[in-house]
Amino acid sequence: MTVPVAVVTGASRGIGRHLADAFEQAGYAVARGSRDVADVTDREAVDRWVGDVVDRHGRIDVLVNNAGVIDTEVPIHEADPDEWWRTMEVNVLGPFLVTRAVLPHMVAAGAGRVINLNSGAGVRPGAVASAYNASKTALARLTGSTDLAGRDHGVFAFDLAPGVVRTDMTEAMVAHEGRTEWTDPGEVTALALALAAGEHDVWSGRMVRAGVDTPASLRDRASGGLDATDRTITLVPWGDDDPLG
């Protein structure tokens, strides 16, 4: 029996650890990424790591781009440029490099699923932590490009927004001071496993959100048909006469 293989970045703690554990419990062989294994912003390190996974397992069925950081919660004019750019590198360059290394193996196999951990912050500007918002918007574009490049080869890509899971990062954020309601990690892992299993490929190139969406609700919604822009980040024209429409 062939064992499916999942690659999970940022798997040493937080949501990444929950995801890696869930995939392992579901019968996947899991390659757990961390800065000690391969810095996702280091192209050579990423290529070596992915190559080693393929050498050991012969395949990669699922990629979960989870590794991410948030910049200090200050307005854009108070942001530190180096920290701002490092946030973009980890949250955008990182998923790009790992996807770039993994995708050829999926395309050659004729199947694969890429799940990018996104955020509601990606669909709107932020008064603070502007790099995080900008990076998550950019990540959605990377998801869309992965979908367009891969779907004719049986490879699909999704944005998975996890809601607000209680982690070291979220507990340290000013935005979540005093929060008493948190997203259950089980809701995140259930969606990720369903996407990975190919149950919801119609949602490829779109965003789903744990704590709001469930595998059942996504199936029900898709049964009525999805418009081209549903759950995508899209320019909204002012009307039929808008030249950008």
| Residues known to be catalytic | 132, 136
**Lookup result for tokens 């980890």:** 90
* 48, 133 contact by CB (below 8 A): no
CA–CA separation, 224 and 234 (whole Å)? 21
**Lookup result for tokens 């789903």:** 208
The three-point CA angle 221-139-232 to 5° equals 30
Count of CB atoms situated within 10 Å of the CB of 80: 13
147: phi then psi, degrees, rounded to nearest 5: -60, -50
* 160, 213 contact by CB (below 8 A): no
The Cα-based distances of 220 to 188, 192, 213 in angstroms read 18, 17, 11
Identify the H or E element spanning 24: helix 14-25
DSSP letters, 87-125, are HHIIIIIHHHHHHHHHHHHHHHHT-EEEEEE--GGGGS-
Count of CB atoms situated within 10 Å of the CB of 127: 11
β-bridge pairing 62-65 and 155-161: unpaired
Question: How many residues does this entry show for the chain?
Answer: 245
Pair of tokens at residue 163: 């809601």
